[in-house]
Structure 1
């Protein structure tokens, strides 16, 4: 094999969008989490910061995958036009070389929503369900489409503070998914009667937007908006009401998210009912699930999700001839 055979490729967000498939991503994530995940294979995220500049890194070496690597994102908040860019660097196990750079912006939304759907596929009761969506941004949009790929949705009811945005969200759901959808004027109205509740928008002022006594008996909650200690999304009553809590990154969710820290401060015991995605996907908590009425999935995101979904997208992009070869070659240290 010549040196040029090792030239890496670039996968743009446009290409990722063209080749991405929800069902394939959900199945890939379920498979990845069904295996034991050694702690060192997907370590916690790291953040380097100085003043108003920060850099976050999420590394992972998926068990059984061809590629391993890391997602890197950063922002200089005092730049002339600050914004966050993401790149996922994939290394090839077969060559030990850098194989690809993947634009991580859309991949981040895809992997978060696909992981939530992978969890809800095991947590939520079978059959048609009404979905309540709190939020109308990119994450809410992607999650609604991901959830629709694992459950028949009888209706989608959305709340967000801006009437025009929730109306546009509902119109897009009906247009894209063929599911009846409507916007409502309060979060409680959206949640009323819902079998699945998606909390995908932190509240203004970091006040909770979802309360336990709003939930229908047997409802399943996915909470994705509170990922650091300073953020709030769900009230502590939701934690108290949940019979089982599944976390994508167990210790980060329980120890580093504002919602769970608030629940701890309120004296709510939750560790004995909290489990990892691997526990869920491997079947280790199947017996516990039988007796659990209210179930919750809580997410902070993780590098394993990024790499699994990026590998899937890379393979599809190469097969479709849409990956862009880069005219570069890295020097290999032997």
Structure 2
């Protein structure tokens, strides 16, 4: 039986006007997210990967409306169009959509104890009433993320990086969300701690029926946690497929280059590293046609003129590729 969609994004754009520093003062447009379409199924983890600067974090922030999507974007959450809702209309939905941030220290208020932070969330969203009920809920949240209830009286600087990220997870769970965007949740942590946080996220998903959009640049982590994976390049998704399919048989030249950079722990398993030429262009200077063509090792003349669509590969509707080699 096919699972229902919890989130559907269509033609999502986030464009920022930028004033030139020259005498003319002319305005340019930074296309951080430039027409992204995908869906997230209820109960799954969709991994989102790509180089730094490709727009992954901006995409996540636009979905939860921390960044305003450009006009014409469509974001449907639980059957409701939310892209152009006002703040008052969108506020009730914030309980359903939460975000875990990359920097566990920068995302916590240094002036509040953990208990005060969590209590504030519970109070604002009307989750608990009364001091006793709030205290019990805080103890429950800390226990769920593997922290002692005594930690409620501590400030963020008194925790390690892994403990602070657990606090961030507890804060996201406080409002009983159904969908969480994990924005590089382990990239700032030691490798030894990363696996603990990833396993915690998997346990919480199993126990609470959560759905994740997992943003990361570590391809090994994404492979471990994700059911499906979307690859993003310069504000657009260039390939999306089941994790097993994408890692075993990548089709887009950019995806192939990314996966070729994964270290192989087995000495007898070797693969050729694909080194891309040039640097990632900025959102102010996106190339015409296929945005990847200046760095693509198999680019054709047509790639410079025509922008490929994200289309199903043959009859496999679950594997979609944005490349003229397959269109």
TM tier, shorter chain? under 0.3
TM-score by length of 2: 0.26
**Higher RCO structure (Cα 8 Å, ≥6 apart):** 1
Structure in which a larger fraction of residues adopt helix = 1
Greater Rg over alpha carbons, structure: 2
Q: TM-score, normalised by structure 1?
A: 0.25
